[in-house]
Amino acid sequence: MGSLTTADPAVVSDFSVAAANHAAFEPLNPEDVRACLHKAVDFISDYYANIESLPVLPDVEPGYLQRELMASPPSYSTPFDVTMKEVRASVVPGMTHWASPNFFAFFPATNSAAGIAGDLIASAMNTVGFTWQAAPAATEMEVLALDWLAQLLCLPATFMNHTNTGDRGTGGGVILGTTSEAMLVTLVAARDAALRRSGSIGVSGLPRLAVYAADQTHSTFFKACRLAGFDPANIRSIPTGPENDYGLDPAKLLKAMQADVDAGLVPTYVCATVGTTSSNAVDPVGAIADVAALFCAWVHVDAAYAGSACICPEFRHHLDGVERVDSISISPHKWLLTCLDCTCLYVRDARHLSDSMETSPEYLKNDATDSGEVTDLKDMQVGVGRRFRGLKLWMVMRTYGTAKLQEHIRSDVTMAKMFEGLVRADHRFEVVVPRNFAMVCFKIKASGTMTEEDADEANRMLMKNLNKTGKAYLAHTVIGDRIVLRFAVGSTLQEERHVRSAWELIKNTTNEMMMD
């Protein structure tokens, strides 16, 4: 009988797999953890090292993965190397690479070594921090990270979990998954406060409640309103225009709210945005808060993208008046190097949120909660279970410091300014709205015999042709009834050369289109 050292490799492999399947199952065997994570870390490092050479958009058809991988789960185990091989061969080619330096669509989804490490450690600990007692360090880390970020943003002390003296404040924060969740929980809190204020018994007064936002507000707001039970007929989308750079006009807001009062409705909630998705418009926070105060309406500020820029003094004025709003949310996973998911919600009076969200079953009762000295973050969100999100945010701020984070923001804004200048210098294009932060809205402009409708079609075709090259990825929007291309700078790996290369691709693609 031959020895195993000279046997067919396939036989050895089959023998190894068979032995593994008969061994005791130890999913957290320390040596297996070490081996798997080392291989995963190598994969991640190689991915970032090579991502620039990958097509930003994949060339796959719907259902491709079902055809490439097993249609049914395996009965027996297989070496981790086989699993990783399938990830490389089938998953990576089907990914849209948001981390690519050639990604300019939507808003950035930034990341960093410290952010990845924080998320990895939190995932390994796998704590479920619904109460302080269930995970004291997870709760306290989240509170600390939120207060740190509040200080970077120069938010008033009323939004912080702890005052300057270290005492608990009346405000506070929670880290949620998305802006949608932040809107939903604040809408529910505002709804309940308005019902109490109007003397409604239960939800009988719900059909009378009205909510307001500009037509540039993210569509998730209108979805959250429906989920919170507001009558779609009472959701006001206030038109914006170039006269206010597509920001919400306080005069129009006042008119709409007064008209609703005259009709017997109760103004309940106003959503202001700092950096809208379509045009990066900035609603005037202070003026909106002044109008809403006349009707005792809740004001929420959605600063998901642009709020991160406000850690730089030169952008902080966009939050002027925030001390008069009721809540504000910022998503560091967009522009502050903290990987998904991480949306920071601050409220001026945390009791309004907990009054609506609190749940206290017997099995979660404990002395720490009863003492009133701790924050149970389950009472500031829709669900009960929650991830240890605070660790990665704290690790990003602790590792890089304020100066490096500001440098990161400023570098992106500088590159966007450069791109804006290149667009303005080409007579075929126009910048549609003034650039705010690091996104440029531009389009091929109608000129000569080209109508606005022709220009719309040309912009659609330009985007399609650009994206199918795999060398860049842009998205579009509609502003003033016209098709507009959005160029969002901010992918963590982006450098000036990537922006210039994208512009050359845009110019050359346009040249080819106009010659056809």
**Start-to-end CA span in the chain (Å):** 73
Per-residue pLDDT tens over the stretch 129-188: 888 888 999 999 999 999 999 999 999 999 998 766 666 667 889 999 999 999 999 999
Residues 42 and 131 in one domain: no
Which has more confidence, 456 or 375?
456
Residues 184 and 239 in one domain: yes
Domain with 318, as residue range(s), is: 116-397
Number of separate domains in the chain:
3
Which of 366, 397, 428 marks a domain boundary?
A: 397
Residue 4 has pLDDT above 50, yes or no: no
Query: Nearest-CA neighbor of 105 among 487, 433, 442?
Result: 487
Residues 177 and 74 in one domain: no
Please, are residues 333 and 343 in contact by the beta-carbon 8 Å criterion?
yes
Please, are residues 190 and 348 in contact by the beta-carbon 8 Å criterion?
no
Residue 347 has pLDDT above 70, yes or no: yes
Is residue 107 in some structural domain? no
- 363 among known catalytic residues: yes
Share of the chain above pLDDT 90, in %: 76
**How large is the average pLDDT for residues 395-421?**
97
Residues 303 and 450 in one domain: no
Mean pLDDT of the chain: 91
Residues 387 and 417 in one domain: no
- List the structure tokens of 11: 């036989």
Is residue 50 in some structural domain? yes
What is the pTM assigned to this prediction? 0.91
Per-residue pLDDT tens over the stretch 112-134: 999 999 999 999 999 988 888 88
Range with lowest mean pLDDT among 29-43, 103-117, 334-348, 367-381: 367-381
State how far the alpha carbon of 65 is from the alpha carbons of 4, 68, 75, 492, in Å. Answer: 36, 5, 20, 28
| pLDDT value at residue 6 | 43
**How large is the average pLDDT for residues 411-422?**
97
Residue 489 has pLDDT above 60, yes or no: yes
| pLDDT value at residue 131 | 86
Is residue 10 in some structural domain? no
State how far the alpha carbon of 166 is from the alpha carbons of 147, 225, 398, in Å. Answer: 11, 36, 20
| pLDDT value at residue 9 | 47
| pLDDT value at residue 282 | 96
* Domain CATH code at residue 473: 3.90.1150.10
Residues 266 and 128 in one domain: yes
Which of 374, 397, 420 marks a domain boundary?
A: 397
Residues 431 and 371 in one domain: no
Is residue 1 in some structural domain? no
Residue 295 has pLDDT above 80, yes or no: yes
| pLDDT value at residue 166 | 65
Residue in 47, 363, 400, 473 annotated catalytic: 363
Is residue 9 in some structural domain? no
Residues 130 and 40 in one domain: no
Residues 283 and 239 in one domain: yes
Per-residue pLDDT tens over the stretch 58-106: 999 999 999 999 888 999 999 999 999 999 999 999 999 999 999 999 9
* Domain CATH code at residue 53: 1.20.1340
